[in-house]
Amino acid sequence: MKNTITALRKKSHNLQASNTYFKKKIKTLGGLMKLLKEKSYITNSSGTVLEASLSTSGQKIFERMLKGPSLQKYDPSIRCFALTLSFYSPKAYQFVRNTFNKSLPHPSTISKWYQSIDGSPGFTSEALNALKVKKLASKNQNILCNLVLHEMSIREQVEWTGTKFTGYIDIGTKFDSDVLPHAKEVLVCMVVCINASWKLPVDYFFFGRPYWC
């Protein structure tokens, strides 16, 4: 028991020393991205996306992270950074969160943020609002997009989500009945920007071949 406690204390001390070293080494958000790439936590492409999406609020995010945990609400820029980094690399997210005194949201908090989004089949208001934001950010420049449709097979399975059963044919009509056939395929529609580097899934539909035809 004594040896175990000693080993855990030593491990904790080493982690604290490592975090202190990284905090002293990292002075800007760009430096943080560079370190994550060096440690192979994120790829060059995902690092580029992170830097581009946070170019206007990077310093604000970094200053908030240096302060450590806080009872204040997370700023929208912090939420954006946390969601983006967690999406591209959960390992990188844990590293950054541990290094900066747990100043970023706990992964369970991020899961709750995702749960507040209506992900039901059909066109989502979140996707349409995101397109409006892209338009406003373009500063009256034309945005050229291509609508890509992709059909794929899925496992036939009905599940309870906590509020309803899902896994039946659903084309966004909100019609819910267990007499519907089980979904065997999904059709996903994605808007791909031609003159900028972004793409956005705007809707999806569950269907089965007999029902679809």
Domain boundaries, the chain: 2-115, 122-212
Helix (H) / strand (E) element for 210: namely helix 209-212
Tokens 């920007």: give the residue.
193
Cα–Cα distance between 179 and 77 in angstroms, integer? 45
Token pair of 66 as six digits:
């240096």
Note down pLDDT in tens along the chain; length 213 residues: 655 655 555 555 444 544 444 555 565 667 777 778 888 888 877 777 676 666 555 566 666 666 666 667 777 777 878 888 888 888 888 888 887 767 788 899 888 887 777 778 888 888 888 888 788 777 788 889 999 999 989 888 888 877 778 888 887 766 767 778 888 899 999 999 998 888 888 889 888 765 444
Reported pTM:
0.51
3-state secondary structure of 38: helix
Chain centroid to CA 92: 13
Contacts of residues 95-100 at CB distance under 8 Å and 24 or more positions apart, as own/partner, are 95/36, 95/39, 95/41, 96/32, 96/36, 96/65, 98/15, 98/19, 99/19, 99/22, 99/23, 99/26, 100/23, 100/65, 100/66, 100/68
3-state secondary structure of 111: helix
10: left (phi over 0), alpha (psi -120 to 50) or beta: alpha
